[in-house]
Amino acid sequence: MPDAPNSLPAVLRSTRIVWAIFLFAQFIYISTASKILPTAPPAPPTPSFTIGIAAAAVCSLCIALIFRIKLVGGASECLQSNPTDAAAIARWRKGQLVIMVLAETPPLYGLMLLTTGAPLNQVVLFYAAGMAALLFFYPRNPANT
């Protein structure tokens, strides 16, 4: 018998599928970056622009960590005592989705920097940070943590 659509196992499974899609999307960014770049890249952006984008990437990861602690952590505590709490399941799913979106932003910033002429050795750091964050924020079963 299949799980109810809003049960914890069904929500966990669908959240992990979304997580895998986000991770796959990061590989798509890397593989298509060389195809969308012009043959003669533009002049590299100014260092202050690159630092500003890096600060935005770090801020998005910090916000993701705060969401993980506040929203997902609180919902996980509720789900440990009552795994059928629909409100806690919804909060956990919402928190996980927001975290995944925020973890996806550094590679997008890196792709944007690459299209503006930043060297690949700088852009790789953005891709690596996004992948590491997404791997760190893997959706674990909140009833077992």
Split at pLDDT 50, 70, 90, the class of 145 is low
Query: Which run of H or E residues covers position 17?
Result: helix 8-36
The pLDDT value recorded for residue 1 is: 43
| 32 compared with 53, residue with greater pLDDT | 53
Strand, helix or coil for residue 25: helix
Taking residues 37-57, report their average pLDDT.
85
CA–CA separation, 97 vs 93, rounded Å?
A: 6
Taking residues 137-144, report their average pLDDT.
87
Strand, helix or coil for residue 6: coil
What is the per-residue DSSP string for 105-126? Answer: HHHHHHHHHHHTT--HHHHHHH
CA–CA separation, 123 vs 126, rounded Å?
A: 5
Split at pLDDT 50, 70, 90, the class of 108 is very high
61-90 per-position pLDDT tens digit? 999 999 999 989 888 888 888 888 889 999
What average pLDDT does the structure give for the chain? 88
Chain Cα centroid distance, residue 66:
13
Split at pLDDT 50, 70, 90, the class of 2 is low
